[in-house]
Every structure is written in C-alpha cells, then in structure tokens.
Structure 1
Amino acid sequence: MLPAQLARAPRHLLVCERGHARHPRSRHAAHVRDHAYSCRVSFLIPECGMLPEVLKSTIADIGEYYLVRNLPLHELVAHEFIDAFVKKGSCYALTYKTRIDQDNTAALLPNGKLILSVDKDTYEELGLQGHPSRYSGKKVMRYIITIDLTDAGFHPESKKHNRVLWALKEKKPLEFDFLLAWHNTGAEGSTLMSYFSKNQIQALKPKITFSTLRDLQCPVLQSNDLQGKPEESCSTEELFEWLGAVLNQVSFCYFGEPKLAYWLTLTVHGFADSPVSWRESEHGFHKGGENLYNFVIFRNLDYWLQMAVGAHDDCPP
C-alpha cells in the first residue's frame, strides 16, 4: 500500500514519441512552434570538450526581448498595434510576474489569439464572452476569454472590436507588466522599442551560461527503442529521470560503467504561470506549473521527443 503522501501526489503526464528529423511527416518543428512561451533552454552534449562554433553563433544571435511596465491591456487590441506587429510577423506577449492560480493574466500568441485568464469578479465586470476554467473546481472562480485579433470581423469599425476596446479601456481597465517579443517577416516598419517609446520599456537579452560536467556517466540509448532493455539500454522514462537530476545538479550514481554517448539533448521549460502550454491548451499551476519538452537527438538524426506537464494541463499534442 502506498504511503498517504504518495497517494495524494498530483498527476503528471509524460508523452514520448520518436521520429527522424528529415522524414517528411516529422512533427518536431510543429511541436516547437506550438509551445509559444519558453523561459529556459538547456543543451547537454556528452563527449564534447569544446562547444561547436555553429551552436555558439546561434546562441549569440538569439536576439532581444522586451519588458514593458504598466502597459494597459487595451493597447494590445488597438489596430495600430495589430497592423504593425500581429499581422506582420509573430508577436508574443506574456504578463510578467503574475500567478496563474491567483492573479489576472494575459498572453498574446503568435497566431494572433489574445488569451485572458481572469477571476470571477473581473470576468463579470468585463462582460466579454468566455468559458469557465477547466481547473476551477466545482465552484467556478476563474474564466478564460479568447480574442482573435486577426479575425476578419475584428476591424476598427466593427461592433466586436468596439465592444472589446470599451470593455478593456473603459469598463474594466487592466494593466500589467508584459514580456514582449516580435519576429517579423522582413517587412520594414516600427519596432517594439519605438512603438512603446512613451512607456517604460527595457530591452533584455537572455542570460547565457556554460558549464562542464566532468566524469558524467551517460546512459546507453538505442534510437529505435523507446522502451529500452534491462542491462543493455535505457528507456525514455529512465532517461528523462536521469536528465532531470543532471539539469538540477543532483549527484546520483545511475550507471556503474561509463559509456560513450552518441546523442545530445535539448530541453525547453515553459513559464510556470503561462495561461497556455501547447497551442491554446489551458495551463494551470497546481503544485508546480511544469510544462516542458526535451529532444534527444542521435547522430543519424533520429530523435526522441518527451513532453511533460502537470496535473492542470491537457495531454500534450
């Protein structure tokens, strides 16, 4: 019988699949695009004494993102903003230092969907159409509102646009600190820094650190076998547990004999308090807010993809 603490442990989901990066039906690029909000990216390259130049240059050229303080939410539904950024590239916005289980939060996806996760009082004051959060419990205390900024009916003179603008600007003004990023399609025009020049805006660069892990004993993996074989190779679940210990600098002896590792990993953690995880799937915090994915990439370009979420999430796609 399980101890009481383990019996009450929250549900966690780990979805694993394998593929080949050059297969015409490979979904690796789609999975990356569909997970819009990433706060930490980690590479683990076994048997690597010096970082490859191509990876160094890619990391160095990762670009900037922005922190805008006290930004009224209605500015994101203004057609000047939509025309300049939402329709001319991929625009990302996420409320900064808000708690998904306690505060009002907002996120703008690169597909032009604005997602609001608000408490019951705010929802009733706004008067916009939405639906109860899937993780509110029996007594609904949180609602989700989705506004499609690229919808053909959301033009400047439409009733829909005027209704949303009035709700966010006059009826229930909401203001947040926002993290913003924009990847344009080559068109010339405004930049986020110039557009929000009258606001308190700050350009930020991702913090980059390198570390060398000496005497790290890596598992044996067979690219065509997710299940692994006892005493021969590790399963995808065992690899995921081992990698978690490595990334958290937990000292633990998993393997008795060192083996050469012909693979590398790319691990991406999502924001714990983002309103969504993959695509537009609602994300909740519960015990930890985890939503992450990990690629194990082999020399022959086979890969394993591991996607993990907590109790308040849909199954990853």
Structure 2
Amino acid sequence: MSSRTFLHCETSSLLQHNNRLCAHLEQQPFNYKVTVLLPDCGCVPAQLDTALKSFQSFYLVRKLPLYELLDKHLSQGGVCGLSYKTHIEEDNCAFLKPNGHLCLSLDKDSYERLGIEGKACKPKSSRYVVVVDLTDSSMAPGGRGYQRLISGLTSRLPLKMDFLLAPHSGGRDALELLLSRYDWSQHMPEVSSRLLTDLTCPAPLTSDLHSYDPLSFLEWLGAVQADISRANAADSFLSSLACPQESVASSPSSFLLSARGLLLPENVTTLIQQLRHFLERPHSPPWAALTVYGFADNLYAHERNFYTLMLFPDHAYSLHLATPAS
C-alpha cells in the first residue's frame, strides 16, 4: 500500500437492510482480481469454486472506434468496459460504466477537438474528463446531445482503442452485432486456488475494529497473498519485510482462491453471497477475507484502488477501503 493512502473502515451486518455494502461495491466498477482467504479450511468449498467459475466471459475488441459505444443496445443493453493498455496520465482513455455513463480521459488538444463540455482533472491540469450519460433522453439517436457527440467522435476526434468489454445482467446479446464488425477474442477469468499449510494468523479477529489493527492486518494479508514468508526477520537492509505480530496457532490447512480478468461488481456480489452461505455451515472457518483489486489506470483509481471485506459467521462484516491521497 502506498505511504500516501487513506484507509477507511466500517462495520455492519449483512442482515441490516440499510447497510452500504452494495453501494461501496458499485463505486469500483472495473476490477482485475479478487482473492478469498479461508483459514482453517480442509478443502476448497465447491460452491465457492462454482461461483468463481461462473463469472462472465469478457472480450478484447481491437481498434474499436469510440462512436460505437453510443449504440443504445450497448449502453442500455447491459455492456460495460474500458480501454485496454492505456495509461491514465499519458493516453486518451475511455470507460463505459455499468450505469450507461461514458467517461473519457483526454489530453488538452483532444479535449478541445472533441468540443464536449468536461472538466480538468485537477486545477491547472493538462488533462480533462468528459462524462456523458448515454441513457439520457438527449442521447437517443437524433437527439441534440447524441448528434454533437457522434459528430465529435467521427469527424473532429475519431478515436480508436483496444477495448475490454463485458456483458452484465443479461447483456450478452447486445455484443453480437458489434463483434461481427471487428477483430475480437473471448476470454474467461483465470481461476486458481493455493493450499497454505501451517498458516499463522493475527488474533483475535472479530467485526469489532477495536479487536485488531486494520492496517497491520492488511499488511499481513498482503504478505499471505504475495506468498511472502511471515517469518522474515527485519535484519536485512535491502530485502527484509517485518510482518505484523501473529498470535494464533497455525492451522493445518488454509486456502487462497483467486480470479483474474475483467470482473464486475455483480461478480463480487455473487461471491459474497456464496461466502455468506458457506460461513453459516457448522465447523466453518471463523472468518473469511475477500480482497478486490481495481484497474490502476482508470478514472476511479484516485477514489478507490482496492478494498478488503472481512466476513464472519454471524453475518457481521468489516470493510476496509484504501483510497489514494489526492
């Protein structure tokens, strides 16, 4: 974690209808990795393996003209995605959010050529952000907003980008016509599991934030996920890592599950539901830790890079949100 990162923590229960968990998940619309740590677990739970393998496939469309994203069958038909291998501080980037908002990050020259109102990323910045609600009535074909934007993207600024696209909420059919016109490849999230033997955990771990230091726990969790020895002594100037103090006896076996790809909030929600059911079972682990990593080069990286959700058998949870300092 960066030294200039804020950590926001909150606790609630999945049984409370007014908890804000779903709202937090939606604020990070594009994710490239999710991991689940299950301590004291003898085997990979079948329902979790099935949930990970049920994540939707995604598509890499090469040299996609951005005006194609204005098609209402895409923006309102359950398709979202982001430009591929573009760098937010250097390149023109685009994002189609699940709510139908098209977001463009442009350099000053491109912004002026596009001719659509936006705002500077920061005061005196040379980069600009344009956000267009494609579900608005003015963005219907023939509408004033639609005509202005499609004119900008076809004549004044005919941008083409490699694009990752994923269907959500039954939007797979909306992609078929688009894919027929361009070079594309289909991909499935990469699912894996790793057995951890003699894993020693911090203790105690409950939904009460006063029972443990969240920052120290996240450092320990990061070391586990990166397969870094937690027994390192801090006696080497160049390469040592001093991990948090651990005080629970080693469990004979634990599992770290992961999926990589273009992952959407609904995938995370499905996984959380299955984790919740798994923890309800007798002799389940005392907790589970789910960590979700967003794409670094996207418009939302300044708001959210990753988050970790701690789930407990009594349906309580602790949510840790890492937010880079501005």
Same fold (TM over 0.5): yes
Deviation of the 1:191 alpha carbon: 4.1
Moved more, 247-256 or 291-300: 247-256
Match of residue 163, structure 2, among 160, 168, 178: 178
Does 2:210 correspond to 1:217? no
Q: Classify the secondary structure of the residue corresponding to 2:292.
A: strand
Deviation of the 1:221 alpha carbon: 3.4
**1:101-156 Cα deviation digits (max 9, x unpaired):** 1111110111111010111111111111011002xxx5421001011100112221
Deviation of the 1:63 alpha carbon: 2.1
Does 2:53 correspond to 1:60? yes
- Asked whether the 8 Å contact 1:193–1:201 carries over to 2, the reply is no
Query: Percent identity among equivalent residues?
Result: 35
| Residues 63 and 224 of structure 1: CA distance in aligned 2, closer, same or farther (over 3 Å) | closer
Letter in 2 for 1:88: G
Deviation of the 1:257 alpha carbon: 4.5
Question: 1:179 and 1:248 mapped to 2: Cα distance?
Answer: 26
- Choose between structure 1 and 2 for higher RCO, CA contacts under 8 A separated by at least 6 residues: 2
Question: 1:139 and 1:28 mapped to 2: Cα distance?
Answer: 35
**1:205-257 Cα deviation digits (max 9, x unpaired):** 011111011111011234342022xxxxx222221121111112221243255
Larger relative helix fraction: 2
Name the residue aligned to 1:86: 75
TM-score by length of 1: 0.83
Question: 1:257 and 1:263 mapped to 2: Cα distance?
Answer: 13
Pairs aligned (count): 279
Does 2:241 correspond to 1:241? no
Question: 1:15 and 1:246 mapped to 2: Cα distance?
Answer: 22
Question: 1:241 and 1:221 mapped to 2: Cα distance?
Answer: 16
Match of residue 121, structure 1, among 103, 109, 112: 109
Extract unaligned runs of 5+ from structure 1: 1-8, 229-233, 278-282, 285-289, 313-317
Extract unaligned runs of 5+ from structure 2: 232-244, 252-284
**1:262-302 Cα deviation digits (max 9, x unpaired):** 1011100000001124xxxxx38xxxxx7001101011111
| Residues 220 and 122 of structure 1: CA distance in aligned 2, closer, same or farther (over 3 Å) | same
Name the residue aligned to 2:299: 275
Name the residue aligned to 1:101: 89
Deviation of the 1:75 alpha carbon: 0.8
Deviation of the 1:97 alpha carbon: 0.4
Moved more, 191-200 or 168-177: 191-200
Deviation of the 1:16 alpha carbon: 0.5
- Asked whether the 8 Å contact 1:20–1:302 carries over to 2, the reply is yes
Match of residue 34, structure 2, among 35, 38, 41: 41
| Residues 222 and 184 of structure 1: CA distance in aligned 2, closer, same or farther (over 3 Å) | closer
- Asked whether the 8 Å contact 2:69–2:75 carries over to 1, the reply is no
Name the residue aligned to 2:10: 17
